[in-house]
Structures are given as C-alpha cells and as structure tokens.
A and B are shown apart, each in its own frame.
Chain A
Amino acid sequence: MKKYLPLILLAVFSVLPLLGLSSYVMHILIFVIMWAVIGMAWNLLGGYCGQVSFGHAAFFGIGAYTSGILYSKLGVSAWWGMPLSLLVVTASSLVIGYIFLRLRGPFFALGTLAMGVILRVTAENLTAFTEGDLGIMIRERTWVEKIWYYYIILIIAACTFYLIKKVVESKLGYYFVAIREDQDAAESLGINTTYYKTVALCLSAVITGLAGAFYTNYMGYIDPKVVFALHDISIVAIMVVMVGGVATYWGPLVGSVIMVVLAEVIRSIPKLGTAHHTLFGILLIVIIIFLPNGIVGDYKKLKRFFGVRRAL
C-alpha cells in the first residue's frame, strides 16, 4: 500500500480538475503543487545535504527571467524558457556554488541570503534586459483555462518526486546525508565534499529554476520584487519544508498544502489579512519548538499527542 502511495496520489491529483473546480480553486491547487516542487528542491540541498539556503529566490528568479527575457527580447514563446532555464540555472548555480559552498553552516546560509538580495537589486537595475521594476508582461497567454497549467506543473512535480527519491536512495543520497552529518568525517571516508555539495546545489537550483520559468508562463507577469523576493520566495521555500518535514519525501507536499491554504485563509480574514507574515512567523516558532522534524517527520509524536488527548 505504502509503496503505491505516490501513484495513488498522482492519480487523485490527475482527476481533480475533472470535478469542474472553480478557477480560484484551480489556482490554489497549481500554487500548492508549484510550492511542493520548490520545497522538494530546497529539501534536497537543505534537508538531505544539510546546506541551508536562504536564497532560493535567486534560482527561482533566474528561471523566471530566463523565460521572461526570452519572450520580451527575442520574441520567442516564453515556454522555451523552461528547457533553456535548465542550462542557465545550471551555469549560474555552478558559479554561485563555487563562491558560496566553501562556506560552512550559518555562513553558507548568510552567503545565500546575500546572493538573493544581490540578484534582486541587479534585476531591478539592469533595466536594459529586465525592464527593472516595470517588470515583464507576457501579452499572449497560451491558455485561458487553468487546467493545462495544472497538468504541466503536476508532471514537473511527479518527475521531481521520482528524481529525488531515486537520488536519495542512491550513492548520492548517502553521500549528501554523510556531508550533512559531519563534513570532516565524510571527507575522510573518501567523499569529495565540494563536488557532492555542488551536485546537490545544482540539482536543487535547476528544479527551483524550472518552477520559476513555469511561474512566468502561468502568471504572465514578473518583476524583481516578486520573483527574487526574500520573504515571499526564499523564506517560504524554507517554511514549506520546515512545516512539512525536513529530509522526508512527503514533507514538502504536506508543508505546501498547509502554507498555501493557510496564506489564502489568513489573507481572506478582514483586517487580519495584512498580518499574514506575522502569523507565519509565529507558526514557524511553534513548529520549531514542538515539531522540529516537521509534521511528517514528527508524525508519531503528533499521533501520540492526539491519541493521549482522546484517551483522556
């Protein structure tokens, strides 16, 4: 049963749109899946390999702008941005990795935090390419219906899930976790830590960039403050994983469902809506204190907690 869970879930997600859901609900679903993809990507680097990035908006933004610039400057369909973003993000993650992966622990986190901000400021000022704060608008939308966007992101999510599962269960996965647990021990076990950290960063970045390219096509508008946002992209990527469960297969999906739905619910509450970042902050604190391994990681703890309450 457990073995077939991914397939069952994929089947459920595939038939969901056939229920005639409203375009609003479809939008929420697309965002849930997109955030699950970004969460899975972050989880590979931060959860399994232990390199906590506060700058995943950089990769998201590079992916998004690959699509955007392709459309606005070369007049090519923004969809070509998705395959092209694989190349662009790989190249940029190699450069970024070369600079930042020599930093360890909190220093890596701070480095990536700065990297995200640097890219946002660059995108704001490089108006010749990015149109700066005006942003890029995709005028010809491919579909009005959301259903095709939904299936595209669902395929990306399924492939990402499969890829990460394969990676984690292979030699790579063992090496990533070994690096997370003790970099010196890993090095002395014959693991080229710089190389494998770069591989983890590259994979994680490419998937995030792909989500970014999808975002451009789906939303039809990007600007630096949105796609390179620290609080709306980088931090949310971390929260999705922290809430759902670090270094678990299902954590990013669970976290993404909770985060996206919660954000919508909170925003719809009159007067409280603008405070949704504050509430997210409080949620994060509660999770870190009581469920440090996230909902999936501390599932047994949760079950016991509610079981005890029922018994009383």
Chain B
Amino acid sequence: MSLLEVKDVSMFFGGLAAISNVSFSIQKGEILGLIGPNGAGKTTMFNVVNGFYNPTKGEVHFKDKKISGHKPYQICRLGIARTFQVVKPLQRMSVLDNVIASAFLRVKSRTQAEERAIETIKFAGLYDDRNVISKGLPLGKRKKLEIARALATQPEMLLLDESFAGLNPSELDDSIGIIKKIKDRGITIMIIEHHMRVIMSISDRIVVLNYGEKIAEGTPHEIGSNPLVVEAYLGEAQDA
C-alpha cells in the first residue's frame, strides 16, 4: 500500500496550468525526489499536498484517505510536515522556542514539548544555537531549523523544499547525513532539489516535472539516462 497517492492532479491559476494531470505515489519509507526546471510546478505540487492549495482537478490521498481540500493544519495533524524553499523561521523566537512551538502539536505540557524539542534540535545539530534568536541565524542553520521544526511535529512524511540550496559543501554533507538519519527513523520523504549530486545519491525514486507535466519517473539511474529528462533538464553531457 502506498503512503501518499497523487491522482490526476491539475492546478490552474486563471488560465495557466501550473500542474496538469500529474499522478504518482510514494511508498512508506522511501525517499522520492521531485526535480524539474524552474517553474515546472514542484513547489505548487508541495502546496497542493500540504493543503495551501486545493487542486482544481484530481485528488491527493494519504493513508487511503482523501486529504485534498483539507486545511494545512489538518494535514499536518494527520502526519505530513513540510519545510519552505524561502525559509520561514519564527523570527523573533529563539531556535528552541521555534521547535517547542511545533512540538506542542502532539503534547500538552510545556515540559514535554521542551523535552521533545531539545531532542529534535540535538538530532538536527542545532543544540549549540538553541538560544539564538532565529532572525540572526545564517542560512545553512535556518534550513536546518526548518527541518527540525517540521520533525518536531512527529510526521510520518516530510516534504523538503530545496533544503540544500545555497549551502556550502560541508553543510551539504551534514544535511545529507541528517536526511539519511530521518529515513532510518522510518519517515517517508519527498524532496525537491536542484543539486544533482544530492538528489541522485539519496533518492530511491525520482519524478521529473516539466511545464507542469510529469515527463519521467524511475530510479536515479533510469532518470539519468532518460533522453527526455536530459533534454528538458539535465542537459547533454559534453565530450571533453
């Protein structure tokens, strides 16, 4: 049984089809990469799954229940958490308070929320920065904070929107390690990423979007050699 199923989803903004008739599914425990050129509809797809948009056509099912049309907070409660491409930390709160705020989704008392939050920021490698007001964090750490905050809601599935963009090589390795650890915890991941080295190395399967349509789906190896994908996105390998 697949954990998440996107069935014939289309999303129109006025006359513009940001996504048209896209279907795919995610198995429990896998990492699905979502790639494609700018404007292909990747973030729109996240916004549909996460509930910010109600799809014009089609349905999204999570654990065999229809979730499209639900509000984002309801979908989060069901177990889908997300990060944002343009990071949205709760600016005037400390790193720890940010994570406590999201940990409150599953627990009632402040002590429990704090416990859970501390555990999560240790996991994300932010423990030393826990008292920093998040406004002052460098981008790499903000991206980690996004992940920590999403994790603190104890999701079954995590949507990562370009969590690697703008990171330097050492931060990159760091974050890849975190993603792998998240997978080891049994959390299913859908990830948007432009960084080919990252996406090819961590994804179990990849879905490629172009102009709002799905043009390919398969293992990283299949995708890398698919002529359609090469033409639309990856580009020809040049003979040196």
Contact = CB atoms under 8 A, between A and B. Distances in A.
B54 interface: no
A170 interface: yes
B12 interface: no
Interface string A171-210: 1001101100110111111111100000000000000000
Contacts of B72: 187-188
Given A170-B110, A171-B113, A184-B52, A190 B88 contact: no
Interface in B33-92: 50, 52, 71-74, 76-77, 81-82, 84, 88-92
A182 B101 contact: no
Contacts of A169: 110
B75 to A, nearest CB: 8
A174 B97 contact: yes
Interface residues of A, number: 19
A178 B94 CA distance: 11
A175 B101 CA distance: 6
Max chain A Cβ within 10 angstroms of own Cβ: one of B74, B88, B150: B88
A190 B102 contact: yes
Contact of A171 (B52, B71, B74, B110): B110
Contacts of B149: 189
Given A181-B92, A185-B84, A175 B104 contact: yes
Contact of B76 (A174, A175, A178, A190): A190
B102 A181 contact: no
B231 to A, nearest CB: 35
A189 B92 contact: no
B76 A188 contact: yes
B108 interface: yes
A182 B92 CA distance: 10
B11 interface: no
B208 to A, nearest CB: 25
A187 B101 contact: no
A190 B113 contact: no
A188 B81 contact: yes
Given A189-B76, A189-B105, A193-B73, A178 B90 contact: yes
Contacts of B52: 184, 187-188
Contacts of B71: 187, 192
Contacts of B89: 181-182, 185
B153 interface: yes
Contact of A184 (B77, B88, B113): B88
B217 to A, nearest CB: 26
A184 B50 CA distance: 11
Interface in A2-40: none
B73 A178 contact: no
Nearest to B153: A190
Contacts of A192: 71, 73-74
For the complex of A and B, the 10 pairs showing the least CB-CB separation, nearest first, are A190-B76, A181-B90, A185-B88, A190-B105, A174-B101, A189-B102, A171-B104, A187-B72, A178-B101, A182-B88
7 contacts: A171-B108, A174-B101, A185-B90, A188-B50, A189-B150, A191-B105, A193-B73
Interface of A: 169-171, 174-175, 177-178, 181-182, 184-193
Interface of B: 50, 52, 71-74, 76-77, 81-82, 84, 88-93, 97, 100-102, 104-105, 108, 110, 113, 149-150, 153
